[in-house]
Amino acid sequence: MQTVLTATQTRFLRGQAHDLKAMLQVGGKGVTASLIAEVALALEHHELIKIKVAAEDREARDAMIDDIALRTEAALVQRIGHTAILYKPSQDRRQIVLPRA
């Protein structure tokens, strides 16, 4: 089940992610099982991550970002150009406390 965020929570997470550097980069091989595993591991550890998607076509890039978010059950916080911000609360230790609706 994918994480669903309210507008207030999305705005809060965008502010939190402003100073983050991209942790992962999707290259020419596209979305692979090992990439999904790495994204899931990064989300479990950090909860909020930035990824860069190197695709020429806007539709292909958006499809890759949507696929990653769906397969990791993460919420897509923001998408700007080649960069996407993903959020998924950690199962073991929650670090980010979201504001209520």
Residue 1 clears pLDDT 80, i.e. is over it: no
Residue range 80-94, pLDDT digits in tens: 999 999 999 998 888
Query: What residue type is assigned to position 96 of the chain?
Result: I
pLDDT value for 21: 95
pLDDT value for 101: 66
Residue range 12-29, pLDDT digits in tens: 999 999 999 998 998 878
Please give the mean pLDDT across all residues of the chain: 91
Task: Calculate mean pLDDT across residues 57-85.
Answer: 94
d(CA 63, CA 19): 25
Token pair in block for residue 22: 């991209």
Query: What residue type is assigned to position 47 of the chain?
Result: E
Strand partners, 85: 50, 78
Read off the pTM: 0.92
